[in-house]
Structure 1
Amino acid sequence: MGSPSIDVADIIERQRINGRQYLIVLLCALLMFLDGFDTQAVSYIVPVLAKTWHLPREILGSIFSAALVGLMVGYLAISPLSGRFGHKRMMVFSTVFFAIFTLLTVFATNVTELIGLRFLTGIGLGAAAPSAVALTCEFAPKRVRSTFVLLVYCGFSLGFVVAGFTSGVLLPAFGWQSLMLAGAVAPLSLTLPLAFMLPESLAFLKKRPQADERIRELVLKVFPSAPIPPGSGFILEDEGQSRASVAALFRGRTSVGTLLLWGVFFLNLAEFYFLQSWLPTMLTGLNYPAATVVWVTALPTIAGVISALPLGLAMDRVGPYVTLTAMYAAGCLFMFMVASTFAAPVWLLMIAVFCAGFCISGGQKSVIALAAIYYPSSLRSTGVGWALGIGRLGGIAGPLIVGVMYSAHWTPAEVFRVAALPVLVAGCAVFLMGRLSGSPHEMEARRVPG
């Protein structure tokens, strides 16, 4: 008599969510927190360096975009290697990698060194995020998968917020190097918890010797009460799907959706990094007090954190396409509102920026959750990684385009009015993607092997 075959996805769906699953979410969220801290910290040191190193306006956009170029390389070239080495190893290696180059940034003496080190740091940051999302999804039941991914990306937003307030404490007292030093020490301290407390990817274990026994040990570690007899074989979610190559994203039902998804990522990240990179410089140029600059710049990411739970629940219950279409339409209106409040009382500006951030920062996390549930598990890391990588082209382009506009003496209000339109385009793309993909139930039905 053959060994029984057990569907791991069925175990995950039937078991109650437990502390081990929450620990996976927490560790992945901490990694994304450090990713966000490192990414945003440069926005606060650039105004200091501009004065200290006498940098022209034209070079500032290149500094902002250097790490984003590295992020794109990490997403597109490095993160697909997780299929060979496993998500856990990829996360540990990437964390050490970006920590080392952030530490070396402390010793930069000119803008060329700074741009080069930020590019290398970005490669490590970009390699870590897709594996964090994919590993979270592997151990999350479908009913809360979007919520879990959004919670992980809350860490990214919190990193942005904490970078702002930490800069307000460290920069005046210890100089710009102190912020980079903090951004290096923290990820190094996280590597041991990642190495010893995270489970390995089930899909990776399936390719290893004695795969079924390894999977049984891991599943019982995460779900101690699961009824799994010795000698069982295991079936993984979407195990029969094609290998995780970028070409596989354009086979079958995911082809057109992939192009639309890439467009949404591009536009959303262009808006997000425009806000986070240029708001401090714009507000400083309008002579707002330093404390106000920190608070207003932090508001989009604070709003993004607050948005995670309601948007995750709406995506799981109402549907991802309806939720994101409505959110982007509202985001367009709020960007116009920001453009109208630069000369208004500060509290009005803060409300407008908060609402715009709810839609744009929240949209960034939501569209990652959409990608995670759109692709089958065999394509998930590659699909999310390539979407983020293409999105980083927008993240690079956004600050550079605004830099050109700012150098041409466009006012902040004029920049925000133009920036409102791509948000509406992103909403239209999500709407079309939903029309082509059908309902979430139809999506799941297409994944069930016939």
Structure 2
Amino acid sequence: MSRFQVMAVVIALTLILIDGFDVAAMAYAAPVLSREWGIQPAALGFLLSASLFGMAAGSIFLTPLADKIGRRRLTLISLVVISIGMVASVFAGDATQLLVFRIVTGLGVGGMMANLNVLVSEYSSNKRRGSIMGIYTAGYPIGATIGGLVAGPLIPNFGWHSLFAVGAVLTIIMLVVSWIWLPESLDYLFTRRPAGALKRVNNILAKIGRPALDALPAITATGKEQSAIGEILTTPIRFRTFMLWAGYGCLVAAYYFANTWTPKIIAGVTGDNSIGVTTGTIANAGGILGCFVFSALAVRYRARPLLVIALLGSAAAYVVFSMLFTQITLAMVLALFLGMLTTAGIAGFYTVSPEIYSARARATGVGWMIGLGRLVSIVAPILVGYLLAGGWKPENIFVLFAAPLAASALCIVALAFSLKRQTRSTEPVAATLS
């Protein structure tokens, strides 16, 4: 890969790391915030879900703008929005203000993530694209883990505001870096063709060692969006679509419950906020490990069986954690496995989902799967807040969320049976990533 390609990929990877840091900051600040402001569990659930709500809104309303104004420009706009949300969070005076500012932060994150995915894929070489995308998938939990490492010493000494301040500074720095060095998407330049597109394309091609073009290639006709929607909602693809969406939604519900509430639950058991933060950090570190382990195993083994194993292992880990989370040393070890198995499940869904659809419908099918997951990610922490306020014990909630993980595994099994019944006369689907 040329130096220019490496630079583009590194910038995008750094941005996704900071996204993970910014979104996870609320979970690490939650124990101190709930005590200082007297926030009840139900209200805290809304605070923990605020950035996730913003991410869903950003994905729905901001991401489509990239096709009109360019992916680079939307990324810069999203970074400005994130910076505003993080700076404002530092000066929040009550829970309502912080709720609004966290929504703003999530709005920017949601608007940017799809663009980063395209840029990383586009500027990676064919040989290295798979490994780089694996690292990209791990970027979010890496950023969340870094947030925990920073929060541990920072919050006790400087208060919860300091964590948001660090996130704001990092985001603003990357806004400047992206403004100077982040390239535009070649796909956007080829398809939308803004003023000076040929010159900009040739400038990028020169930097990656490719010959210049005399003219932009002719735009070929592609399938219309309705045909993509028709494919994913027509038998037999429709059944596979529903199994994929239901399975991913169940997994994400359990993932975001553990990701947002574990620090608070452990802090409540021990009476020590720093132990809660440490446990959350360990879970995110397990997520990083799980992503790489799944990617390594998927080179040799089929992805779908690996995904089923990860989901069933996650369900078992939740049940065991419910029995032993009051034993802090064991809880920290189990938190590593919780993070490892659930994040491996997410990596697994990203791996198996493209094979369900043809090229023209893949973006719609997989994109809607992720969008549904974000909607579920909003509901899960809020639901847990109400359950705790209603007298549920934390151990019972962990057992409760083991059920959707098992259901998710069953969805993938049903999906596999459906694919096996597919005849050779069926329209070819995308090659598996396993």
Counterpart CA distance in 2 for 1:444 and 1:363 is 28
Q: Residue 68 of structure 1 aligns with which residue?
A: 52
| Counterparts of residues 107-186 of structure 1 (less than 5 Å) | 107-140=91-124, 145-186=129-170
Q: Tell me the TM-score normalized by structure 2.
A: 0.86
Q: Residue 336 of structure 1 aligns with which residue?
A: 319
Q: Residue 415 of structure 1 aligns with which residue?
A: 397
Counterpart CA distance in 2 for 1:195 and 1:375 is 36
Distance of aligned partners of 1:436 and 1:221 in 2 relative to their CA distance in 1, 3 Å threshold:
farther
Q: RMSD of aligned C-alpha atoms?
A: 3.2
Counterpart CA distance in 1 for 2:175 and 2:362 is 24
**Is 1:315 the equivalent of 2:298?**
yes
Amino acid at match of 2:244: L
| Counterparts of residues 338-353 of structure 1 (less than 5 Å) | 338-344=321-327, 346-353=328-335
Amino acid at match of 2:396: E
Counterpart CA distance in 1 for 2:420 and 2:193 is 36
| Counterparts of residues 7-406 of structure 1 (less than 5 Å) | 17-140=1-124, 145-206=129-190, 207-208=192-193, 214-222=200-208, 224=209, 226=210, 228=211, 230-231=213-214, 234=217, 240-243=222-225, 247=229, 250=232, 255-287=238-270, 289-344=272-327, 346-371=328-353, 383-406=365-388
Q: Check whether the contact 1:150–1:369 (CA below 8 A) recurs between aligned residues.
A: no
The CA deviation at 1:23 is 3.3
Counterpart CA distance in 2 for 1:26 and 1:245 is 36
The CA deviation at 1:47 is 2.2
Question: Structure 1 stretch 412-421 or stretch 363-372: which is displaced more?
Answer: 363-372
Describe the superposition over 1:140-197 as per-residue Cα deviations: whole angstroms up to 9, x where unpaired: 4566545333311322112211212222222222222211111112111102322333
Counterpart CA distance in 2 for 1:185 and 1:428 is 44
- Give the percent of matched residue pairs that are identical in Structure 1 and Structure 2: 25
Question: Structure 1 stretch 423-432 or stretch 296-305: which is displaced more?
Answer: 423-432
Q: Check whether the contact 1:29–1:154 (CA below 8 A) recurs between aligned residues.
A: no
SS of the equivalent of 2:311 reads helix
Amino acid at match of 2:374: R
Counterpart CA distance in 2 for 1:139 and 1:256 is 35
Amino acid at match of 1:305: I
Distance of aligned partners of 1:382 and 1:215 in 2 relative to their CA distance in 1, 3 Å threshold:
farther
SS of the equivalent of 1:286 reads helix
Distance of aligned partners of 1:319 and 1:305 in 2 relative to their CA distance in 1, 3 Å threshold:
same
Counterpart CA distance in 2 for 1:395 and 1:127 is 16
The CA deviation at 1:445 is 5.3
Distance of aligned partners of 1:229 and 1:81 in 2 relative to their CA distance in 1, 3 Å threshold:
closer
Counterpart CA distance in 2 for 1:126 and 1:219 is 29
Q: Check whether the contact 1:76–1:385 (CA below 8 A) recurs between aligned residues.
A: no
Counterpart CA distance in 1 for 2:16 and 2:302 is 25
Distance of aligned partners of 1:127 and 1:113 in 2 relative to their CA distance in 1, 3 Å threshold:
same
Question: Structure 1 stretch 356-365 or stretch 34-43: which is displaced more?
Answer: 356-365
Distance of aligned partners of 1:189 and 1:46 in 2 relative to their CA distance in 1, 3 Å threshold:
same
Counterpart CA distance in 2 for 1:304 and 1:249 is 33
Distance of aligned partners of 1:245 and 1:405 in 2 relative to their CA distance in 1, 3 Å threshold:
farther
The CA deviation at 1:241 is 3.8
Describe the superposition over 1:290-330 as per-residue Cα deviations: whole angstroms up to 9, x where unpaired: 44322211122101112222312333553332321221122
Counterpart CA distance in 2 for 1:128 and 1:389 is 14
Question: Structure 1 stretch 60-69 or stretch 428-437: which is displaced more?
Answer: 428-437
The CA deviation at 1:254 is 5.8
Counterpart CA distance in 1 for 2:94 and 2:20 is 24
Amino acid at match of 2:368: W
Distance of aligned partners of 1:192 and 1:364 in 2 relative to their CA distance in 1, 3 Å threshold:
same
Distance of aligned partners of 1:447 and 1:215 in 2 relative to their CA distance in 1, 3 Å threshold:
farther
The CA deviation at 1:29 is 1.9
Q: Residue 3 of structure 1 aligns with which residue?
A: none
Counterpart CA distance in 2 for 1:106 and 1:178 is 7
Amino acid at match of 2:207: K
Amino acid at match of 1:218: I
Q: Check whether the contact 2:46–2:382 (CA below 8 A) recurs between aligned residues.
A: yes
Amino acid at match of 1:208: R
The CA deviation at 1:234 is 4.6
Counterpart CA distance in 1 for 2:157 and 2:345 is 36
Distance of aligned partners of 1:385 and 1:77 in 2 relative to their CA distance in 1, 3 Å threshold:
farther
The CA deviation at 1:446 is 4.0
The CA deviation at 1:220 is 4.0
Q: Check whether the contact 1:79–1:382 (CA below 8 A) recurs between aligned residues.
A: no
